[in-house]
């Protein structure tokens, strides 16, 4: 799984690092108040950044334009190198031997101070560095920038702007400031009127591996994952284990993992956490590729810290990918804060809620520090929560649905619904697959329960067809506001 970077506004960030399916998107903050890249983003707009950075110094705007072309074309982060003592028009008078720029360029030891820093520079694998040519060389402030960070193991690609001079020896001289393990790609000079197409033709010729942008809450149907606001990626479909016995859990999880599924949902009240943990531990699939969700029940809220440790012990896991509060109850805020502490302690990676709706969330969220990464509610064609889902998603929280087939006693009716059956026949799939695909296209993660390996494989096979807008509306019209459980 490629490394991705995330910048979160809000009060709510969980710190951890890992790789794999549950890859943590490490926080990045460009600490420069004068640059457009700041940490002031709304939660709903939080995006995973690339593994590339475009750092540039520009006084007249020419280099800035080239830097923006590169950033726009690659989705790389953009950072402006700004002098702590800004350059004035008089400073830039190259014909004056006493001007600041002339003196700096004539002094090989000159190192103008830079305002601000790039925090988490270690997260970038590729760094473009742009500058204008001054007296045939890069401005000395570029030397300051290069000497301020450890670029070992990174790839640096310089580019410059000038009216006539090429990149010349500026490239070589800058290279000498970096360690031997820094990969240095020969730079390119651009004229002031260089077009975006010209710049990107050069960038594309470099054949760089630059990660794609991901947005929190947006389903990636290629990787079959969604980026959570905690910075971890979670599969968008998996297996619910409600009512499965220990033996059924083992068989079901084995079938899920064999078919490529990686998301497992359990809970203290299901009584099968130990079986789930055992199946995960004994699987040939690496632990970091499996995403395990469990829940605290209200009767555990009074001693939530102890309950968290007990869950880890029962499951025999070093960490839990996601822990939820099962439903509102006495001391639920205190229990949630215990989960927040467990995140800080590295016991849990993401936290959330189950069976919280608009009113409950409005009251609950101001009392906690970490925004839930997930809210899990009953969702199926007869109970659609069409007002609740958008509200939750607007907060940067991912929605997950339980009872996707209506729950016990209602499944047969829902799967035989004439509208759904007709749509299934049109796509040569099952009604179950139509319902699950409908959820995914609404941005709802699905965790259907089953002990039948054939059904488990079928429930994961959701990407060979797509529902039309008309078909989505036909299913939306089935809503009865008919809740099938008391939560």
Of the candidates 237, 242, 256, which has an alpha carbon nearest to the alpha carbon of residue 445? 237
CA atoms in the 13 A half-sphere facing the CB of 327: 7
Active site includes 403?
no
What angle do the packed helices 168-175 and 140-147 form, to 10 degrees?
Answer: 30
The answer to whether 23 and 232 have CB atoms below 8 angstroms apart is yes
Q: For the purposes of burial, counting CB atoms within 10 Å of the CB of 106, is it exposed (0-12), middle (13-18) or buried (19 or more)?
A: exposed
Distances (CA, A) of 336 to 221, 266, 355, 368, 370: 31, 18, 14, 7, 9
Q: Which helix (H) or strand (E) holds 283?
A: none
Distance CA 434, CA 420 (A): 7
Distance CA 179, CA 182 (A): 6
For 92, the token pair is 């830039």
Of the candidates 19, 36, 20, which has an alpha carbon nearest to the alpha carbon of residue 7? 36
For 393, the token pair is 């998603």
Q: For the purposes of burial, counting CB atoms within 10 Å of the CB of 462, is it exposed (0-12), middle (13-18) or buried (19 or more)?
A: buried
The answer to whether 442 and 473 have CB atoms below 8 angstroms apart is no
Distances (CA, A) of 79 to 67, 117, 188: 9, 9, 19
Contacts of 463 by beta carbon, 8 Å cutoff, 6+ apart: 221, 224
Distance CA 201, CA 417 (A): 53
For 91, the token pair is 């400073």
Check 69, 131, 270, 319 and give the catalytic one: 270
Contacts of 65 by beta carbon, 8 Å cutoff, 6+ apart: none
Distances (CA, A) of 146 to 60, 107, 121, 139, 168: 22, 17, 12, 12, 18
Distance CA 292, CA 235 (A): 10
Distance CA 112, CA 85 (A): 8
Task: Work out the number of other CB atoms within 10 angstroms of the CB of residue 285.
Answer: 17
The answer to whether 218 and 190 have CB atoms below 8 angstroms apart is no
Distance CA 265, CA 377 (A): 13
Distance CA 429, CA 462 (A): 9
Active site residues: 270
């Amino acid at each position: 799984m490629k490394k991705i970077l995330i910048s979160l506004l809000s009060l709510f960030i969980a710190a951890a690092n890992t790789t794999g399916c549950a890859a943590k998107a490490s926080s990045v903050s460009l600490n420069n108040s004068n640059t457009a890249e700041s940490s002031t983003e709304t939660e709903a707009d939080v995006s995973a950044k690339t593994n590339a950075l475009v750092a540039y110094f520009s006084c007249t705007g020419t280099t800035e334009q080239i830097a923006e072309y590169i950033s726009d074309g690659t989705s790389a982060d953009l950072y402006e190198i700004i002098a702590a003592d800004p350059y004035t028009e008089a400073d830039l008078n190259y014909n004056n031997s006493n001007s600041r720029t002339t003196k700096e360029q004539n002094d090989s030891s000159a190192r103008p101070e830079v305002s601000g820093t790039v925090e988490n520079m270690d997260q970038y694998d590729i760094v473009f560095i742009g500058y204008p040519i001054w007296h045939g060389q890069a401005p000395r402030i570029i030397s300051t920038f290069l000497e301020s960070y450890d670029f070992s193991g990174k790839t640096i690609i310089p580019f410059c702007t000038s009216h006539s001079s090429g990149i010349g020896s500026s490239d070589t001289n800058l290279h000498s400031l970096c360690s031997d393990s820094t990969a240095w790609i020969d730079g390119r000079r651009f004229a002031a009127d260089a077009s975006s197409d010209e710049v990107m033709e050069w960038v594309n010729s470099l054949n760089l591996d630059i990660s794609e942008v991901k947005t929190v809450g947006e389903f990636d149907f290629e990787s079959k994952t969604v980026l959570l606001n905690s910075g971890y990626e979670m599969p968008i479909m998996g297996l619910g284990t409600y009512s499965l016995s220990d033996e059924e859990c083992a068989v079901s999880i084995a079938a899920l993992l064999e078919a490529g599924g990686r998301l497992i949902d359990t809970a203290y009240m299901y009584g099968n956490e130990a079986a789930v943990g055992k199946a995960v531990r004994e699987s040939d699939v690496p632990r970091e590729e499996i995403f395990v969700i469990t829940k605290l029940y209200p009767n555990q809220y009074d001693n939530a810290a102890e309950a968290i440790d007990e869950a880890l012990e029962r499951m025999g896991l070093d960490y839990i990918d996601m822990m939820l509060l099962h439903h509102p109850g006495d001391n639920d805020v205190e229990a949630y804060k215990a989960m927040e502490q467990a995140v800080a302690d590295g016991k849990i990676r993401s936290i959330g809620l189950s069976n919280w709706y608009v009113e409950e969330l409005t009251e609950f969220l101001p009392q906690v520090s970490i925004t839930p990464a997930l809210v899990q509610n009953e969702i199926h064609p007869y109970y659609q929560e069409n007002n609740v889902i958008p509200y939750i998603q607007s907060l940067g929280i991912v929605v997950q649905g339980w009872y996707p087939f209506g729950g016990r006693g209602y499944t047969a009716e829902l799967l035989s619904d004439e509208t759904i059956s007709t749509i299934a026949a049109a796509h040569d799939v099952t009604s179950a697959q139509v319902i699950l695909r409908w959820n995914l296209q609404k941005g709802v993660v699905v965790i259907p329960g089953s002990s039948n390996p054939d059904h488990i494989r079928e429930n994961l096979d959701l990407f060979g067809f797509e529902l039309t807008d008309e078909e989505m509306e036909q299913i939306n019209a089935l809503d009865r506001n008919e809740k099938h459980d008391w939560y």
